[in-house]
Structure formats: structure tokens, C-alpha cells
């Protein structure tokens, strides 16, 4: 069938298998072009199908020749209906890994469940014995708690008062004021349950107790800080409480991995267009100003550039892992540069519907958003009859 983008607000209902494949191939080429990284050889990536997790998996495989197991929650295709992009990304990744002679298998299911954890442990035992790196890159609006059976929903709300600021509808370019009502305690608690560190701890406990973590194993989860303008809805909002919890969890996991000389890190990454970040009010306007400013300075990065730099210059740089005063790896260093942030703060004051096309990078935002679903890639014939049924035996 001819597959076209069908946008519905913050999501696209279709995905293009050839475009997703092109996206993965481009990321592989980028990692290869940067040379080998003396990194982990057996890697588990939880949240491996899109965004930072996919880029991490690609960097491990094609930067360090690593065997990878990927866990994700994606929709396979059915006759006449495309898969979710992460499915096609993973299918393409597995094909490319196999061509390169690299072990790659995936588990498609709910990573918050005990069953998927056990399935992963069984796969590691059967195929790899142990893993030496665990990337934790889940982004989800809901979590079914494996002990209580309660379905928790996260929210993106300020805490303590209504937050009013500018936002942009990135489809139309219309800049408007948005007011978001404050969270109650239940909203905060639920968001921490979904996006905080409890599930990361459960994963690391399960892996350690099963004996599938190698001596010296490292685990990394991803966080975000960002600028003052987004603080009320991000870092000082409900999601920020979850990130505080996630960051604190790195210390408790490090303690519990002492017996195997393991270590847990949080890496603070740059703001990027992903399915997760597009749904957060105010952030798309910030990202469009950020992209424009960083591109002008020649320091713009996407997920793959970020993860390649995380691996080569932080995690596996041949010496100690550099961290900030709170023990966090900072790969948001270029985003947070004073000169960059000063420029954005000024642009933020000025931004209107009329001038955004000039002062912000809305086309860059839209392009990245389309790319998430496999659209807008050079070298892909979007008018061609395309088979939506891409099946991969190594995804179970
Ligand atoms: P994403 O939406 O691109 O990826 C999420 C991944 O989690 C996908 O592989 C998805 O299949 C998987 N997933 C979701 N629910 C699942 C479930 N129940 N079971 C198994 N897999 C599941 O998100 P993105 O943006 O790459 O986020 C990853 C991490 O990076 C998050 O912790 C996020 O907060 C963080 N981060 C994101 C930034 C951004 O600007 N996008 C900036 C800094 C940090
Ligand atoms: Na991810």
C-alpha cells in the first residue's frame, strides 16, 4: 500500500517501514563514521525501539560490536495497518545487526511486568550468560504495578500553582498562551510510580538475583533538567519529581550492586523531538528556539549524536566517568551553555506566531517529528507500493 502520514495531535497513526529502516541505517552510518568505542560487549536496552534507547542500542552494536537484547512495547503490523515506528525500527536494526554478524534479539512486551523481566533473564541465560551494560530508557504514560495490579497514570503538571506561559502548535506554528492547572498529591505520586526509579530498581534486583549481571556491570538511565522557562511544567513539576526519584535511585542501585562491583548512573540528556517530549506543553516552543540557536552555533545534536558522545566521551572514555556535583553524567552540556541559554531566554520573550518562522526552527521540529514515524527521509520512495507486513523472527 501507499503509506502516508496521518497526524492526530501529538501522534501519527501511521509509520513507514522503509523510512524507519532509512532512519536506522543513517544512525548506524553515523556511529560507524565516528570510529570504534571500547565499550560493553553484552548489552540489555530497556526501551530500545525509539529515541535515546534505540540510539543507545545502535551505538553499542555498531560502535562496540556488542551483542544486544532490546525490550520495548510496540505494535506489530496487521494486514492493511502499519506497525508502530518502534516495531519497524527494531526490525531494521535486527536485520542490519545480523548482516554485520552481531547477535540481536528483542522482547516486545510490558517491561514493567514480572513476566517480561523473567523472559529477559531467560534469554540472557540462554544466549549471553551475563550482560555488562543495562540501558534503562523507558518513557511511558502508564505503568501497571506488578505487585498491586494498579494502573498508574503519569501527568505533566506544575506543582503548587497554575502555570501560564507560551506554547506552540508545531503543526500550524501558532504561538499561544497555555495555562496548566496544578497537580494534586495523587498526580505527583502516580507520576513518580510511572517514571521514577522503582521499576529500574526492580529490573536491577531481578537481573542481579538471577546472576545475569557481569562483574563490574554498569546501568544507565536518562534524565532531563532544562531551562528556567520550562521548570514549572518540567523539572519542578510532576515529571521532575519522578526524575528526582530516578536520580536518587542511581545511588541505591549502586549500593545494591556493590557485591558485583556494579555502578548505576543517570545521564542528563539534551531536549530532543521524540514521541515523549512532543506531548509536553511549552517544550516544543523551547525546542524550536533551541534547535535554531544550536544549529547556528554548529553544536546541534540528535539522539544518535548524543548517545555516541555519551559512550565515547563519558561512559567509555578510557578513564573515570565525569559527573556533576550530584553524581550525574551531563551530556546536556552544550544545551545548557550560558551563551545558548541567554539567547533562548531573549528569543522566548519575543516569540510570536508572526516571527517564529524567523527566530525558531519550526521546519526542523516538523522534520524531526515526521522522521520519528519514518517520513521525510531522502532516498525513500514514498509513492511506491510498500509492504506494511514486516515480520522479524527474533522479536518475541
Ligand atoms: P521514546 O518514547 O522515544 O522511547 C520510549 C521507549 O520505551 C520505546 O522503546 C518504547 O517502546 C518503550 N516503552 C514504553 N513503555 C513501555 C513498556 N511498558 N514496556 C516496554 N517498553 C516500553 O522516549 P525517549 O524520549 O527516548 O525517552 C527515553 C528516556 O529519555 C526517558 O526517561 C526520557 O525522560 C529521557 N529523556 C528524554 C529527553 C527528550 O527530550 N526526549 C531529554 C532527556 C531525557
Ligand atoms: Na528510548
**Domain spans, the chain:** 7-372
Instruction: Provide mean pLDDT across the span 187-199.
Output: 98
**Are the beta carbons of 182 and 227 closer than 8 angstroms?**
no
Is 286 one of the annotated active-site residues of the chain?
A: no
> Where does the pLDDT of residue 68 fall: very low under 50, low under 70, confident under 90, or very high at 90 and above?
very high
Which among 48, 45, 41, 44 is positioned nearest to 63, based on CA atoms? 41
Of 201-210, 271-280, 328-337, the one with minimum mean pLDDT is: 271-280
Res 34: pLDDT: 98
State residue 383's pLDDT score.
97
**In CATH, what is the architecture of 7-372?**
3-Layer(aba) Sandwich (3.40)
Query: What whole-number distance in Å separates Cα of residue 175 and Cα of residue 285?
Result: 8
Supply the pLDDT for residue 277: 86
Q: Which residues surround ligand 2, an ion (CB under 5 A)?
A: 47, 51-53, 137
CA distance 48 to 54: 5
For residue 375, the model assigns a pLDDT of 98
From the CA of 353, how far away is ligand 2's center (Å)?
A: 31
E strands, the chain, in order: 7-8, 11-12, 42-46, 67-72, 104-108, 131-136, 142-144, 151-153, 163-169, 174-180, 213-223, 263-268, 329-330
Mean pLDDT (whole number) for 86-115: 98
Q: pLDDT confidence of 166, banded at 50, 70, 90?
A: very high
Best residue for ligand 1 mutational test, from 47, 140, 269 (most atoms within 8 Å of Cβ): 47
Q: Is the pLDDT of residue 386 over 90?
A: yes
Q: What pLDDT sits at residue 322? A: 98
Q: Which of 222, 234, 291, 311 is catalytic?
A: 234
Tens-place pLDDT, residues 32-43: 999 999 999 999
**Can you give the pTM of this predicted structure?**
0.98
pLDDT on residue 238: 98
Residue 140 pairs with which residues in a beta bridge?
Answer: none
Given this model, what pLDDT does residue 274 score?
Answer: 85
| pLDDT at residue number 392 | 81
- 229-245 pLDDT per residue, tens: 999 999 999 999 999 99
Average pLDDT over residues 94-104: 97
Q: Is 73 annotated as a binding residue?
A: yes
Specify the pLDDT at position 13: 95
The answer on whether 224 is annotated among ligand-binding residues is yes
How many CB atoms neighbour CB 310 within 10 A? 24
Residue 377 labelled as part of a binding site: no
pLDDT for 320: 96
In angstroms, how far is the first alpha carbon of the chain from the final one?
26
Q: Is 102 exposed, middle or buried (0-12, 13-18, 19+ CB in 10 A)?
A: middle
Distance of CA 167 to the CA centre of its chain: 22
Mutate-to-test residue for ligand 1 from 71, 88, 139, highest number of ligand atoms within 8 A of CB: 139
Determine whether the annotation assigns residue 266 to a binding site.
no
Please state the rounded mean pLDDT for residues 123-138: 98
Model confidence at 396, in pLDDT bands (50, 70, 90)? confident
pLDDT (0 to 100) of residue 395: 78
Strand partners, 395: 106
d(CA 167, CA 6): 23
Q: How far is the CA of 249 from the centre of ligand 2 (A)?
A: 19
User: Would you say residue 393 has pLDDT above 80?
Assistant: no
CA of 137 to the centre of ligand 1 (A): 5
Average pLDDT of the chain to the nearest whole number? 96
Written as one string, the DSSP assignment of 28-82 is HHHHHHT------SEEEEET-SSHHHHHHHHHHHHHH--EEEEEE--PPPBTTBP
pLDDT score of 146 = 98
Ligand nearest to the CA of 191: 1
How close is the Cα of 308 to the center of ligand 2, in Å? Answer: 14
Mean pLDDT (whole number) for 127-134: 98
Pocket of ligand 1 (CB under 6 A): 47-53, 71-74, 86, 110-112, 137-140, 222-224, 269, 271-272, 274-277
Question: How confident is the model at residue 275, as a pLDDT?
Answer: 81
pLDDT in the model for residue 96: 97
Tell which wins on pLDDT, 46 or 278.
46
Q: Is 111 annotated as a binding residue?
A: yes
Nearest ligand, measured from the Cα of 279 = 1
Q: Residue 160 pLDDT > 80, yes or no?
A: yes
How far does residue 383's CA lie from ligand 1's centre (Å)?
31
**Nearest residue CA, atom 16 of ligand 1?**
73
Which residue out of 12, 20, 52, 223 has the highest number of ligand 1 atoms within 8 Å of its CB and is therefore the one to mutate? Answer: 52
Q: How far apart are CA 202 and CA 231, in angstroms?
A: 29
Amino acid at each position: 500500500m501507499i503509506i502516508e502520514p496521518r497526524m492526530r495531535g501529538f501522534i501519527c497513526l501511521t509509520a513507514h517501514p522503509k523510512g524507519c529502516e532509512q532512519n536506522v541505517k543513517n544512525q548506524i552510518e553515523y556511529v560507524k563514521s565516528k570510529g570504534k568505542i571500547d565499550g560493553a560487549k553484552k548489552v540489555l536496552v530497556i526501551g530500545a525501539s525509539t529515541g535515546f534507547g534505540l540510539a543507545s542500542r545502535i551505538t553499542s552494536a555498531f560502535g562496540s560490536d556488542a551483542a544486544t537484547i532490546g525490550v520495548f512495547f510496540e505494535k506489530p503490523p496487521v494486514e492493511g495497518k502499519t506497525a508502530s515506528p518502534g516495531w519497524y525500527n527494531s526490525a531494521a536494526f535486527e536485520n542490519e545487526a545480523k548482516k554485520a554478524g552481531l547477535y540481536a534479539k528483542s522482547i516486545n512486551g510490558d517491561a514493567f511486568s514480572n513476566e517480561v523481566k523473567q523472559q529477559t533473564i531467560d534469554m540472557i541465560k540462554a544466549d549471553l550468560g551475563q550482560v555488562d551494560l543495562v540501558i534503562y530508557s523507558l518513557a511511558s504514560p502508564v505503568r501497571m504495578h506488578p505487585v498491586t495490579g494498579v494502573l498508574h497514570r503519569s501527568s505533566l503538571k506544575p506543582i503548587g500553582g497554575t502555570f501560564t506561559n507560551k506554547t506552540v502548535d508545531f503543526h500550524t506554528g501558532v504561538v499561544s498562551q497555555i495555562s496548566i492547572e496544578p497537580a494534586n498529591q495523587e498526580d505527583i505520586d502516580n507520576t513518580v510510580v510511572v517514571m521514577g526509579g522503582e521499576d529500574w530498581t526492580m529490573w536491577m534486583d531481578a537481573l542481579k538475583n538471577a546472576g545475569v549481571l557481569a562483574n563490574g556491570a554498569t546501568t544507565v538511565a536518562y534524565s532531563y533538567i532544562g531551562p528556567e522557562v520550562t521548570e514549572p511544567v518540567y523539572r519542578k513539576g510532576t515529571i521532575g519529581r519522578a526524575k528526582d526519584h530516578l536520580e536518587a535511585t542511581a545511588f541505591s542501585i549502586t549500593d545494591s550492586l556493590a557485591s558485583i562491583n556494579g555502578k548505576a548512573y543517570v545521564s542528563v540528556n539534551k531536549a530532543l523531538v521524540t514521541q515523549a517530549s512532543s506531548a509536553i506543553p511549552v517544550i516544543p516552543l523551547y525546542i524550536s528556539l533551541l534547535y535554531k540557536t544550536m544549529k547556528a552555533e554548529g553544536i546541534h545534536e540528535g539522539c544518535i549524536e548524543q548517545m555516541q558522545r555519551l559512550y565515547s566521551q563519558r561512559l567509555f572514555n578510557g578513564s573515570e566517568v565525569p559527573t556533576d556535583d550530584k553524581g550525574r553524567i551531563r551530556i546536556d552540556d552544550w544545551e545548557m551553555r550560558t551563551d545558548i541559554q541567554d539567547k533562548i531566554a531573549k528569543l522566548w520573550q519575543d516569540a510570536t506566531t508572526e516571527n517564529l518562522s524567523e527566530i525558531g526552527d519550526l521546519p526542523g521540529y516538523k522534520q524531526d517529528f515526521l522522521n520519528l514515524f519514518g517520513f521525510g527521509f531522502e532516498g525513500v520512495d514514498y509513492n511506491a507500493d510498500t509492504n506494511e507486513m514486516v515480520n522479524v523472527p527474533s522479536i518475541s
